[in-house]
Amino acid sequence: MTAGCKPISDKLKGRDWLMTQDWNDEEIEIALETSSQLKEEFRGGIPHLHLPNKTIFLIFLDKSTRTRNSFEAGATQLGAHAHFIDAETSQISHGESPKDMGIILSSYGHAIAIRHDTVPGEGQTYMREVAKWADKPVINMQCDVDHPCQNLADLMTIREEFGKDIRDLKIAVSWAYAPSYVKPMSVPQGLMMLMTRFGMNVTLAHPPEYTLMPETMKIAEENAKKSGSKIEIVANMEDAFKDADIVYPKAWGIQSLFGKPEEAMKIAQKYKNWICDEEKMKLTKKSSIYMHCLPADRGNEVTDAVIDGPHSRIFPEAENRLHTCKALMALTMRD
């Protein structure tokens, strides 16, 4: 550990980070506190080399900007080194088993991180198989079921805005139209599961075809019951946005049509009016904030007036991806 930086918890050494649901509330709090500490030290120019000479392998089966760069930059700032692995240029594309890869890469370094989010039913299963055989931590950089790194940064951002006690705040998680490609379901699913744990009331809005995975909704409902929060499902953005403290409108795909992108995009075109604009933001509370995991499809998911306007918190949210990723690495990769 570098002189001048604060120590961090040893309680999560060696732990996998595959879904937020795998960590209890106390462990999530440790991750958030560590994220805030590392953010303060980063902004203050205080070196925090908690992982000198450590190596993490970053395996991507999908494209990335924020995730790749937050892990690569974060590893460097912690004194570690991140190896970027494009699955298409590795033996993964030739069918190398998750067992073999997990055993071998964990013998080469200190953690494995994986992004595998485009095929429902595959990503989370694949990661858990790697974790079964790896003897080092495995981190989910986004899968078909959850995006735990993004959602941890989302929770950090909300608490910076509203304070630590976020019980009874209303977050509107809404589908929005995007013509670019069929986007994963993991961000809205992760929001449903995590925000209900911390007492937030979640209103989910989507056209009838865009239901989320039943197993994630079941977890969200159980979490809401335990925390005393509420889940409401509505059929339009306006009802979701009414009196909301936070709005999080983004596109996601239809589970049964991820292998049929042309058919999926035809259905999406029926709902071009599902856009976050100034009129819809007027339905929210005056103090409300707009959030998005990015990249946002400007002019389709959201207007420039909203994403660049006073409600928007996309840039602090994106910055927090760095600090939360660093916290997850620093907590799990320690000796």
Which structural domain range is residue 166 located in? 149-317
- Domains: count for the chain: 2
79 and 201 inside one domain = no
The rounded distance, in Å, linking the Cα atoms of 134 and 132 is 6
203 and 326 inside one domain:
no
Instruction: Identify whether residues 168 and 299 lie together within a single domain.
Output: yes
pLDDT digits over 278-317, tens only? 999 999 999 999 999 999 999 999 999 999 999 999 999 9
| Same domain, residue pair 140 and 159 | no
* 138 domain residue, yes or no: yes
155 found inside a domain? yes
| DSSP structure string for 246-305 | EEEEE----GGGTT-HHHHHHHHGGGTT--B-HHHHTTS-TT-EE---S---BTTTB-HH
Q: Can you list the residues of the chain whose pLDDT is less than 50?
A: none
Q: Is residue 7 included in any domain, yes or no? A: no
Angle subtended at Cα 22 by Cα 217 and Cα 101, rounded to the nearest 5 degrees: 110
For residue 255, with 0-12 CB atoms within 10 Å meaning exposed, 13-18 middle and 19 or more buried, which class applies? middle
Give the distance, in angstroms, between the CA of residue 72 and the centroid of all CA atoms in the same chain: 17
CATH number, domain at 124?
A: 3.40.50.1370
Q: What angle do CA 114, 223, 219 make, to 5 degrees?
A: 50
Give a yes or no: residue 11 inside a domain: no
* Whether residues 153 and 295 fall in one domain: yes
Residue 12 counted as domain residue: no
Give yes or no: residues 103 and 211 share one domain: no
Q: Which residue has the tokens 């929770």?
A: 155
- Summarize pLDDT for 123-182 with one digit per residue, the tens: 999 999 999 999 999 999 999 999 999 999 999 999 999 999 999 999 999 999 999 888
Task: Count the neighbouring beta carbons within 10 Å of the beta carbon of residue 198.
Answer: 20
Same domain? 121 vs 261: no
The pLDDT, as a whole number, for residue 180 is 86
Q: In terms of domains, do 126 and 175 share one?
A: no
* Residue 207 included in any domain: yes
| Position 273 in a domain | yes
Q: Check residue 5 and give its pLDDT.
A: 86
One domain, residues 53 and 195:
no
Residues 133 and 210 placed together within one structural domain of the fold? no
Position 147 scores a pLDDT of: 98
Q: Taking a C-beta distance cutoff of 8 angstroms, is the pair 58, 86 a contact?
A: no
